[in-house]
Amino acid sequence: MVFSFDTDEIKYLWQKITRGHSDKEIWGLSYSIAEFIVPRLKVFKNRNKHSTPMGVSAEEWDNITDKMCFPFEILLDDNELKPDNYFRDDKAKAEYDNKVKEGLDLFVKYYYDLWD
């Protein structure tokens, strides 16, 4: 069996070990952030049954956390989450883009409430 080593991958691993992140993660920072946020936000949603932001019911909070997750999920798998007519129908594109904006706006609004 022959093993081949990619020197760049070794460099990235060393950077990750020594400074906590690699240059590879910085090149696509929005993608790296989405990779970090999506699984944690999903676990948070499923485990956070103790508290919600002031004036927000548990059901509303579940809905809000789903909406917050959506914009980050599309960064990870953009093609599958776009509607089939995204590029052909201006109305579908606008609805989709509004859904992305809504999720990002909610993430900013409730950022300090992401604790259990």
Summarised one tens digit per residue, pLDDT across range 64-115 is 999 999 999 988 886 566 667 676 788 888 888 899 999 999 999 999 999 8
CA distance 19 to 2: 31
Q: How do residues 31-57 score in pLDDT, each as one tens digit?
A: 889 999 999 999 998 886 678 899 999
pLDDT in the model for residue 38: 94
Tell me the pLDDT band of 24, cut-offs 50, 70 and 90: confident
Record the pTM.
0.75
